[in-house]
Amino acid sequence: MFETAFTPWASLAGGVLIGVASTLLMLFVGRVMGATGVLAGMFQPSSGSDFAWRAALLAGMATGPAIVWLLSGEMPAVDVPISAIALVIGGLVVGVGVTFGSGCTSGHGVCGMARLSPRSIVATLTFMAFTFATVFIIRHVIGA
Amino acid sequence: MKVIANYLIGVVFGVGISISGMANPAKVLNFFDIAGTWDPSLIFVMGGALVTTFVGYKLVFGLKAPIFEDGFSLPTSRMIDAKLVGGSAVFGIGWGIAGFCPGGALPALGTGRWEVFAFVAALLCGIFLAKFIQSTTAGRSAAAP
């Protein structure tokens, strides 16, 4: 467990860019920017062009860190303060949860909330509450 | 054209995630650790993304149709059921364990860090597992949006 610096301006700018990208995706292809949906849909595309826009979007996302590196000279920090086993278990659990819950932070938390979708508001409040509780239990009850 | 536009939209999203801190599990987990090493940065990510998308959608929905399609493909389900709440709860538990959410991890693949690939591989296994469970529970196999 370690401290991270409070970065309100970088985080706000990043948030605005996430919003700009979500808006542009709606403007160009008329879809919500849900990372879960874009990823999962790539494995059961409805057509070749359905696969293509999803793959292009994901390729663009993965280019993001390199652009940041080119502009700032530094790769974005990825500090993983947990074990590899916990990381894999977490990934599995997230995959199951976002599939049954029909979305994640980007789909429900940003796009769905921005549409004032009651489903997304319920989903977002639920996962935020459970994330807070999980981190509290892991760090302060179990003390890992 | 459509592929290029999508690629560039992905770049904007990826840069946003990268500078926001959402691609960094330590920062994400610290946001949720109010009782410990709290880092409130993610409030600014959420706030910035939400306000921008809210205003952006208002403008876009003034149009008849998106640029490359005949109409908008919006999620239509309005049902708040056990699947939505239970799935979201499970997602919250996983996010609290790993510190990565799908939208944070996918751009982070571009850093080349093995931890991100391990998380995304596990994430895909979880998605396929859940889809398999959904397809075996006959009749109500609603796909994720």
Q: Where are the domains of chain B?
A: 2-136
> Would you state the pLDDT for residue B94?
98
CB-based contact A105 B103, cutoff 8 Å: yes
Alpha helices per DSSP H over B61-144: 82-98, 102-108, 114-136
CB-based contact A81 B25, cutoff 8 Å: yes
Which residue has 């997602």 as its token pair?
B91
ipTM score assigned to the predicted complex: 0.96
**Secondary structure (DSSP) of B117-135:** HHHHHHHHHHHHHHHHHHH
> Would you state the pLDDT for residue B141?
46
Chain A CB contacts of B106 under 8 Å are 35, 39, 58, 61-62
The DSSP letter of residue A109 is I
> Would you state the pLDDT for residue A41?
93
> Would you state the pLDDT for residue B144?
46
**pLDDT classification of A2: cutoffs 50, 70, 90:** confident
Q: Which residues touch B82 (CB under 8 Å, ≥6 apart)?
A: none
> Would you state the pLDDT for residue B137?
82
Q: Which residues touch A31 (CB under 8 Å, ≥6 apart)?
A: A25, A37, B72, B73, B74
User: What would the two tokens of residue A111 be?
Assistant: 């796009």
Mean pLDDT, rounded, of chain A: 95
> Would you state the pLDDT for residue B3?
94
> Would you state the pLDDT for residue B139?
54
In contact, B17 and B104? CB cutoff 8 Å: yes
Q: Which residues of chain B fall below pLDDT 70?
A: 138-145
